[in-house]
Structure formats: C-alpha cells, structure tokens
Chains A and B, each alone.
Chain A
C-alpha cells in the first residue's frame, strides 16, 4: 500500500530521444571520422612521405582557408540560404589590399581593409536577399560575377606584389614547431562557430529559420536581420581567407581562388549540412574539411592530378547524400511490407 502513498517520481523530460549504440555509430560525424581515419591510414601505407610532421603541416594549407569560409557557410546553408560569391569576395578583398599595399600601407591596415571589404560584400549580399526577397542563389550568382568583375576592372591582367614586411606572417607564419598560424586560426574559428551554433539562442534561431522561415518569423525571430548577419559573417570569413591566401601567395591576380565556392559548398554538404536548410553540425564540417585536405595531400603525394581527385570528391558528394535516401526508402518499404502482411493475416 505504501507504494501508492509515495509521491510519483517526476519523470524528467528528455529534450532529445535517447540514442542507442547503433545510432551513435551511424551518426554522420562518426562515419565521416571513420572515413578520415581510413584515408589517413591508407595514405600512410601508400607513401612513406605522408607521416612526416612537416609534410602534414603543409597539407593543412589545403583546407584551412576554405575551411574557415565553410564554417560560416554552414550556418548560412542551415538558415536556408547560400553564398556562391565567396571566392569572388576573396578576389575583391585581395585586389583591394593589393592596391592599398602599393601606397605603402602597413600590414595591419591591409588586414583591416581586407576584412572590411569582406564584411561590406557580405552585407551587400544580405541586403539584396532580404530587401527584395530574391533567392540567394540568384543574388550571389550575380554578385559572384560583379565582385570578380570589379577585381578584373581594377587589375586587368596585371598583378599586385610588394606586400609590406610582416604581412607574410598570416599565410606563412608558424606559431610554434609545425603549427601554422592558419591552423590555429581555423581551430579557434571552429570552436567559436561550434559554440555559436550549438550553445547559443542565436544558433537555435538559425535552425528555426532554416526549418520554417515563416514559422520563425511568427515566433518573434528577426529572420531578415539574422540572415543579414549570417551573410556578413560569411563575407567576413571570406575576407579572413583572402588575407591568409594573399599573404601565403605574396601576390594578387584577379583570378585568385577561382572555383573555390564549389569546393567550399562540397565541404559543407559532405559535412552533413542539409542543402535544404535546417540541419547540420559544425563538427561534421570540420571533419569534412580535414578529410578533403587529407585526400588532396595523399593524392598529391601519389602524383595523382587534382582533377582526378575531383572525380572522387564528386562521387563522394553524390553518394553520401544519395545512399542514405535509398537506404531509408528500402527500410520504409520493408516496414510497409511487414505491415501489409500483418493486415492480411
């Protein structure tokens, strides 16, 4: 009887479904990580030069600059938008810095100009998308052409060189031993973006907008303002990447970083971010960035040209999105089959 007198234990309401071991193993990040480990091990077997700290350190340049933009792009894509103009922003910011450098400006002013250019370009994208409610893919195809066009108008087929002393540190400097400045920057940015997306209300709002913009609007979320902020963040990160890349190359041409936008989007989608918006996590994007860097480096060591590697990237991109859909469909079909069997008997 005492059983009934005792107060019912308050059931704690979980904010997410409990995960079984198979759930955890089938998590996107875990699968991706497994592939990355596999690629790492395979590379170690295939080339004796792979497992060298200095070589590996060099290999990180394959993904740090693109990865920085991919972090911001992930947030943007989760919110249901996209920015195809990032590579053109790199070119625009690089040309701006190059022109400024010819006047003898010091390194810190160049960096400020590069970041400001990125921020302004991102703001321009965001304003056009929100003010005129035009799909961002169209707006950013336009600005992609416009930004790089301005770079071409300013520089033609010329080249800017003669960057000031100290500017080379950002793309070529080491913090200590084999740890490059770019690596540290990427790690810090990854943690910051992870916190913003997964631990702040701002991050929750991004998911809300991506899942249902109208619903988010009615819930009191300032959809347009957040979208503009996300575009500006993407622009800013493109500015950062522009500083790093320009510093690393030591020169600027208007064709700088051509085609990067597609590699960056591939990185984001490979990282498990839904291109339709509303889903995705930062750790996945980070692992995808490292994975692509490892593959590029490994193929490079085997003298496989980059273009052949792009075949693998393309296949992987389609497979990682397509296979889960097929598996889910097959499972659903089997469940339906057993259900109809039950009904018949």
Chain B
C-alpha cells in the first residue's frame, strides 16, 4: 500500500481551503469575482495549465522532469497554424489529431532518450527545449502567423460553448477524467507510482522502468501538442516565443499541488488545485487593484510555502533510511 492516497490527502484538503478562501476573500473586495460567470472565465483561463500540469505530473511521478513542454506546445502550435494558413480546407479534426500526434512524437523523443538510452531527464529536456524552440524558427523563418491568416473555425472552435462551458474548458475536464482513470485504474498509471517510489523495487517487481518513463514523457508530449493548438487558437497568434518560460509555471502547479519532485507522490486533484490556485492569483491581482507585476513574486512564495509545508508533513512519515540517519545526528 502506498503511504499516500492516490486520490485525496491532507494536502489537497488544505489547498482547496486556500483556493476557496482566496475566492471568497477577493469576492469581498470585488463582488462578482466568485460569481458563476467569472468562475467559468477563470476555469477557461486555467485550462491549458491544468492539461499541461496533468502531463507533467505523469513525468514527475516517475522521477523525471519535462522542461520541453512549452517548446513542444509552441512548435506544435506553429505547425498546425501554418497548415491552417496555407490550407484552410483541412478539417479541424485532422489538425487536432495531428497536433496530438506531433506532440506525442516530440514527447516520445524525450521518452526514448530518458527511458531507453538512460540520459537524465533534466539534461534531455533542457536539450530538446532548445531544439524544439529553434525548430520553430527554422520552419517559420521567424514570421508570425496572425489571426487573419487563420480560418474562423480554427480560431473559433475552443470558444464554442457546450452547456455554458467553452470547449477549451471541456478539454481540460475530459483529460482530467482520462488522467484520473489512467492513474487509478490502469497498470501503467500504477507503474508511474511504483517506478517513482522505488525504481529498483519496480525492476524486481517486473516493471519495465524505461518503458514506463517512455510513456510518461509521451503522454506529457501528447498533452503539450494538444495545448499547442489550443494556445495558438485561443490567442489567435503563433510565433517563435509562444509560451516561453511556461514550463516553469507548469512545474509550479504540480509542486503547489503536492507532487513530489522526488517521485512517486502526487494526485490528479492536487495538480488541478495547484493550477487553479495559480490561475486564481493571476486573475485576482488586477481585480483587487494590485499590480500584475506581483504575480511572479506571489507564485514563487506559494511554491516555497507549499514545499515547506509538504516537507514538514512528509517528515512524520519519513523514509526509513533517512530516519535512522537522522536519529544518529
């Protein structure tokens, strides 16, 4: 039995209370912030972060880290935007599948290098981050694809509302459920935890560690690819520097959500709450009249506080080896 629940822990409870307090607090200052209309807006604004966070979680669970997600997103987004501008007739469904496929392939490259070759994840994704970003320049020549070059359906699709919620948000909900099922019910999902919890034990349990890592990176890549289309269509522009630095926000969402960088610990609701926390802060600052320049500092403090609280709660459970080492000290 894992010591951590895969569904809900004290961390998730605390975080949801924090997010709720934040919503209520901002609502006092500016009524309507926690109203249904704005909540839908907030959820929509956070959807891409949620999706990328879920993919990143799979990677971090296996003790990896994927710094290339934002570059993957930007490259995939550029490819589909270019196809759309050159051939507006290509149906959107094809572009969607293509986006996921390209993202998957880019993630699989990471997965192969980490899982099969055995290069540390941080080195691989640091490298592919630079490579994917550079490839955008190579294929686009540094040109921008602007709104008027995209077809109406390409730009409009994520904005269409189903049951009052934009399609963009539905993607997040759908992938959330998918990831939840994957983590809780499938062998691959459980293997993520096993590999991250103890790679050596996982090998003895007959789990192919490399293959598990490969799939984690591929899933992260596929999610990033989908977000490539979503991002480019949402902001109706594609250029080399799309989402630059966003990978750190994604990792921040995971860390705030209680995913342990040491692997093997983390939940889907935690990641969603972590992303929602960052999204709420981002949306709340201008509303309560604080300069948006505070956003970065607040996010940084939130990461540090989350990590410190988390470290404290983990200490009581502790790993046996470390605990013994500590008593001698």
Contacts and interface: CB of A to CB of B under 8 A. Distances in A.
Interface of A: 128, 132-135, 137-139, 141-150, 152-153, 156-157, 214, 217-218, 254, 258-259, 262, 265-266, 269, 275-276, 305, 307-311, 313-315, 317-318, 321-322, 325-326
B303 A152 contact: no
Given A314-B130, A318-B119, A139 B297 contact: no
Contacts of A310: 130-131, 133-134
Contact of A318 (B127, B244, B294): B127
Q: Chain B CB within 10 Å — which of A132, A147, A325 has the most? A: A132
Contacts of B255: 138, 141-142
Given A128-B308, A305-B142, A141 B248 contact: yes
Contacts of A315: 127, 131
Q: Chain B CB within 10 Å — which of A148, A258, A307 has the most? A: A307
Given A135-B262, A141-B255, A145-B252, A307 B299 contact: no
Report whether over half of chain A's contact residues are helix, strand or loop; otherwise say mixed: helix
A143 B308 CA distance: 13
Given A132-B308, A134-B307, A325-B117, A314 B129 contact: yes
A103 to B, nearest CB: 22
B128 A148 contact: no
A329 to B, nearest CB: 8
Contact of A214 (B130, B251, B325): B325
Contacts of A139: 304, 307
Contacts of A318: 113, 119, 123-124, 127-128
Given A141-B252, A142-B304, A314-B127, 14 more contacts: A133-B315, A134-B307, A134-B308, A141-B255, A142-B301, A145-B248, A145-B297, A149-B294, A217-B329, A275-B123, A310-B130, A310-B133, A314-B129, A318-B128
A142 to B, nearest CB: 3
Contacts of A262: 67, 126, 129-130
Interface size class of B (residues with CB under 8 A): 35 or more
B126 A133 contact: no
B130 A313 contact: yes
B296 interface: yes
Contacts of A149: 293-300
Contact of A141 (B124, B138, B297, B303): B303
Interface in B211-255: 240, 244-245, 248, 251-252, 255
Nearest to B117: A322
Given A149-B297, A275-B122, A322-B113, A132 B134 contact: no
Ranked nearest first, the 6 interchain pairs of A and B with the lowest CB-CB distance are: A149-B297, A146-B300, A145-B300, A149-B296, A314-B130, A142-B303
Interface in B90-147: 113, 117-120, 122-124, 126-131, 133-135, 137-138, 142
28 contacts: A128-B304, A128-B308, A133-B311, A135-B262, A137-B122, A141-B251, A141-B252, A145-B252, A146-B296, A146-B297, A147-B300, A148-B296, A148-B300, A149-B293, A152-B296, A156-B291, A156-B293, A266-B126, A266-B127, A275-B120, A305-B142, A307-B137, A308-B134, A311-B135, A314-B127, A317-B130, A318-B119, A318-B127
A276 B312 contact: no
Contacts of B301: 142, 146
B129 A308 contact: no
Contacts of A145: 248, 252, 296-297, 299-300, 303
Contact of A326 (B117, B122, B307): B117
B320 interface: no
A143 B301 CA distance: 8
Contacts of B244: 259
A53 to B, nearest CB: 31
Interface string B256-269: 00000110000000
